[in-house]
């Protein structure tokens, strides 16, 4: 088991990438703090983990709210006594180019996708220094290359990549690693309805050399690698998990 006796906090863990990662981490021996805006979704993830013999707790949390973030960090400490892995996975997508996207949606994207990652990282770092743990944050291929009609998403995910690099530099001396995962187009709760349209699906597949869409397990396996001792010399990296999209 690659994460035996480790404690992992995973945000956005009620569905998609976060759910798959929570289940895989638990399978690999981690005790998982399952955080989601929707408590019912978090509880469903926890039940599946427990039914499979794993250990997890559910916590409701809006990562854009400082008090919620402090609460789930403290809940992890009160329940398990330590934090070894923080996976900042919660995020939102607001479509539109610079003229189309509303100021409200742009600012909300910053609050969730950027501020939420910063808040959780800030309050987890003192505990991660004690365990020589790591931070993993979900960015996006859209934070590396531009893609149309997604100025808010691209802006915020680019910021996540830069934030992980800055944290990696600042805390390497303390043994804390920080990396970003950059998914391409994946099949998740946010995209599944959209991808039912064959024309849209083909449009997303066109620039992907491997000619398949990403699955939640693809991201979960990348997160497991970055969280494990196998990645002990990797920090400040933005790892594309995109079927070759950014390469092409």
**Least confident span in 96-100, 167-171, 172-176, 206-210:** 206-210
Q: Return the ∠ at Cα 8 (arms to 4 and 13), rounded to 5°.
A: 125
**CA distance linking residue 36 with residue 78, whole number of Å:** 18
Q: What is the pLDDT of residue 108?
A: 99
Q: Note the pLDDT tens digit of each residue in 41-78.
A: 999 999 999 999 999 999 999 999 999 999 999 999 99
pLDDT for position 201: 80
Q: What is the largest CA-CA distance in the chain?
A: 50
Burial classification of residue 53, based on how many CB atoms lie within 10 Å of its CB (0-12 exposed, 13-18 middle, 19 or more buried):
exposed
Q: What is the pLDDT of residues 157-204, one digit of tens each?
A: 999 999 999 999 999 999 999 999 999 877 776 666 667 778 878 887
Q: Does domain 7-239 have CATH number 3.30.930.10?
A: no
| CB-based contact 33:39 (threshold 8 Å) | no
Question: In this predicted structure, what is the pLDDT of residue 197?
Answer: 77
Q: For position 192, what pLDDT does the model report?
A: 67
Q: Is the pLDDT of residue 213 over 90?
A: no
| Distance in angstroms (rounded) separating the CA atoms of residues 20 and 24 | 6
Q: Which residues of 81-104 are buried (b: 16+ CB within 10 A; e: fewer)?
A: eebbbbbbbbbbbbeeeeeebeee
CB 238 within 8 A of CB 161: yes
Give catalytic status of residue 93 as yes or no: no
**Residue 85 confidence (pLDDT):** 99
Residue pLDDT, tens place only, 109-126: 999 999 999 999 999 999
> Which positions ≥6 away from 215 have C-beta within 8 Å?
20, 186, 187
Least trusted range by pLDDT, from 29-33, 146-150, 169-173, 235-239: 146-150
Among the listed residues 93, 127, 153, 171, the single catalytic one is 153
Closest CA to 10 of 31, 118, 236: 31
| pLDDT at residue 119, rounded to an integer | 99
């Amino acid at each position: 088991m690659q994460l035996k006796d480790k404690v992992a906090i995973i945000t956005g863990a009620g569905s998609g990438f976060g759910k798959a990662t929570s289940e895989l981490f638990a399978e690999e021996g981690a005790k998982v703090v399952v955080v989601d805006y929707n408590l019912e979704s978090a509880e469903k993830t926890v039940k599946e983990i427990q039914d499979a013999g794993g250990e997890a707790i559910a916590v409701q949390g809006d990562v854009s709210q400082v008090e919620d973030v402090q609460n789930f960090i403290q809940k992890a400490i009160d329940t398990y006594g330590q934090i070894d892995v923080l996976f900042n996975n919660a995020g939102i997508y607001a479509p539109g180019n610079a003229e189309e996207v509303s100021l409200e949606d742009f600012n909300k994207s910053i609050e969730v996708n950027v501020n939420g990652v910063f808040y959780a990282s800030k309050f987890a770092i003192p505990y991660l220094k004690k365990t020589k743990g790591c931070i993993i944050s979900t960015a996006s291929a859209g934070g590396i290359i531009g893609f149309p009609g997604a100025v808010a998403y691209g802006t915020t995910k680019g910021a996540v990549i830069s934030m992980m690099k800055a944290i990696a530099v600042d805390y390497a001396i303390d043994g804390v690693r920080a990396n970003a995962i950059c998914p391409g187009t994946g099949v998740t709760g946010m995209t599944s309805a959209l991808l039912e349209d064959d024309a849209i699906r083909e449009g997303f597949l066109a620039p992907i050399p491997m000619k398949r869409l990403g699955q939640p397990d693809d991201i979960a396996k990348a997160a497991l690698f970055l969280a494990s001792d196998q990645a002990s010399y990797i920090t400040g990296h933005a790892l594309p998990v995109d079927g070759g999209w950014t390469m092409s």
